[in-house]
Chains A and B, each alone.
Chain A
């Protein structure tokens, strides 16, 4: 039974970008199988996305990338099966047959019966049939061999895996086992920030610690995310010192904007008017 359900065209765009949740993706895949119209819309969206993808800044891949690829390619050389019908010997024999029987037929046609006309071809047809059959059998044999090898390898893997699982269970259950909890001796503390903000006055103080160093052309930027759903407001840029500390003190902010939360992003140059994903720190009210 073909499912009949209205599909929102907006969702097809999300599907093309793999942004739908798994259940909706599954539903859309099913719908696409049955709807030529939906497939047409999807192919148009893919074309739009291909255009949009070309808006990215163009960079040449590293010089050695090509060499690395060709090395992989050479390592996975393809072995093509030999087509017996195209093999030189058979074609030559076929040509010969055509040529020779052709000339004979021209000379002797008036005297020959139907059987006599067919018989000279029968040998060649039989030979071709046998060659075809042999090749099919050879192919089947090769396929069976490779299936057998694959199955044997799979079996060996399963046995090894079962043995490993047994040993694992025995180790875990052994009453003589001693247990140690290990933690990293070189644990890097996560970046932290604290924002103090008075909405009526538009005054704000941020202190942050354990921040990662940024390249010289990048900068951290703090964003006030308004409660009323308006666009994020830039609330100051900062670079951490050598120990990862940074602060923003009383940046210029409009008064009376209630904050839903604050976020920090990494921006180019001296900052941006709109945040660039991802958000590296996000606030919770405390």
Chain B
């Protein structure tokens, strides 16, 4: 069988659903770096980050259909799932996020390596243009998993300010990406 098309995550997932180990290896080669890097950023421990990586890819192997249903970018989903799993591990919680049912409104084709690299470069560039407070607050929430109350306590800002800052940072990010 010829190798699956490089840009087609759905084909790979369908093959995984039929038990194709080679398709599983292709998905790993495609997305393991992002999944591992996000987990490492949150957990700051290579061994724990690899645990998250293995857990997520085994979830794909066991139920690829739940990822097929995401109707968006698999790469984007995996980045978010990796963050959420890592935060769960930090809080010693059972995994909670539901991949199914909610679409990810992304127009980026992260299956393509070149587009993935462009996304990484642009994301880094855009982050630096955010006002310092917005960037720091979003990092504390996303990568450190601190709740808005915890952030408010640490920074001395009002709860509402923290919440608005997170949302505004995300909107600025979106706007900068769309421009």
Contacts and interface: CB of A to CB of B under 8 A. Distances in A.
A72 B140 contact: no
B80 A49 contact: yes
Interface string B67-111: 000001101110110111001100000001100001111100000
Nearest to A8: B163
B147 A46 contact: no
Nearest to B177: A51
Interface residue tally on B, bucketed by range: 35 or more
A53 B34 contact: yes
Interface in A37-69: 39-40, 42-62, 65-66, 68-69
* Range for the number of chain A residues in contact with chain B: 35 or more
B105 A78 contact: no
B48 to A, nearest CB: 12
The dominant DSSP class at the B interface is: helix
Nearest to A66: B28
A151 B161 CA distance: 53
Contact of A14 (B97, B127, B148, B157): B148
A43 B72 contact: yes
Contact of B104 (A43, A62, A228, A277): A43
Interface of B: 18-19, 21, 24-25, 28-29, 32-34, 36-38, 40-41, 46, 49-50, 53-54, 57-58, 61-62, 72-73, 75-77, 79-80, 82-84, 87-88, 96-97, 102-106, 119-120, 122-124, 126-127, 132, 136, 138, 140-148, 154-157, 163-164, 166-167, 170-171, 173-174, 177
Contacts of B41: 56-57
Pairs of residues from A and B, 3 with the lowest C-beta to C-beta distance, nearest first: A229-B156, A50-B76, A78-B19
A254 interface: no
A277 B144 contact: yes
A104 interface: no
B124 A13 contact: no
A65 B148 contact: no
Interface in A65-97: 65-66, 68-70, 72-74, 76-80
A284 to B, nearest CB: 14
A76 B79 contact: no
A19 B104 contact: no
B156 A226 contact: yes
A278 to B, nearest CB: 7
Given A19-B145, A68-B54, A54 B120 contact: yes
18 contacts: A10-B167, A17-B84, A17-B142, A46-B72, A48-B170, A50-B75, A57-B37, A58-B37, A61-B49, A69-B53, A69-B57, A69-B58, A73-B61, A76-B58, A76-B61, A228-B156, A229-B156, A279-B154
